[in-house]
Amino acid sequence: MNIRRVPFDHPDAVELNDEVQAEYHVRYGDGGDATVLDAADFAPPNGVYLIAYDESDRPVATGGWRSQDENGEGNEDGDAELKRMFVVEGMRGRGLARRMLTALEEDARAAGRVRMVLETGTKQPEAIALYASSGYEPCVKFGYYRHYESSRCFAKALGENP
């Protein structure tokens, strides 16, 4: 797997974002994630967007983080918000999500962020299991979906560079 930095509006990122939105629709029965995202949110040093490519150079996994600071929606100064973690269906179960998560944590830590936070939902048990097994713990709800019963928010201190 080859992980590359790409702009959030890169054609491969748009393609994978469309796939994740379709999956959200199947799982939640709505129009997908309504969180407002801007390509500039993921431009270093304020964030990053990564795509993993397989041996045939096909995009197979994605994820990004964006800087968040105290904003009245539950974020704290120094937060890095994880967004659009996704692995295409045929490539799941191979550890790609865990590798992507590790790469994103390392990048956020190097950018000076102190805590990685994320929001997921009850209809994504695989995501919840990944985050729990990676050291994430429930935290105060934040962001667009903070008032939704199905929303689950998690956080992990990023600590010092190893």
Q: What is the pLDDT of residue 33?
A: 79
Q: By the 8 A CB rule, do 12 and 6 touch?
A: yes
Annotated domain spans of the chain: 2-157
Residue 162 has pLDDT above 60, yes or no: no
pTM of this structure: 0.93
**Confidence band for 161, pLDDT divided at 50, 70 and 90:** low
Q: What is the pLDDT of residue 119?
A: 94
**Confidence band for 160, pLDDT divided at 50, 70 and 90:** low
Cα–Cα distance between 48 and 133 in angstroms, integer? 23
59-68 β-sheet, strand order: 2-5, 47-53, 59-68, 79-87, 115-121, 151-157, 137-138
More confident residue, 54 or 162: 54
pLDDT tens for each residue of 123-150: 999 999 999 999 999 999 998 888 888 8
Cα–Cα distance between 134 and 157 in angstroms, integer? 11
Q: What is the pLDDT of residue 68?
A: 94
Q: What is the pLDDT of residue 148?
A: 87
pLDDT tens for each residue of 91-104: 999 999 999 999 99
Residue 65, strand partner residues: 48, 82
For the 2-157 domain, the top CATH level (class) is alpha beta
**Confidence band for 18, pLDDT divided at 50, 70 and 90:** very high
How much of the chain is in helix, strand and coil states, percent to nearest 5?
Answer: 30, 30, 40
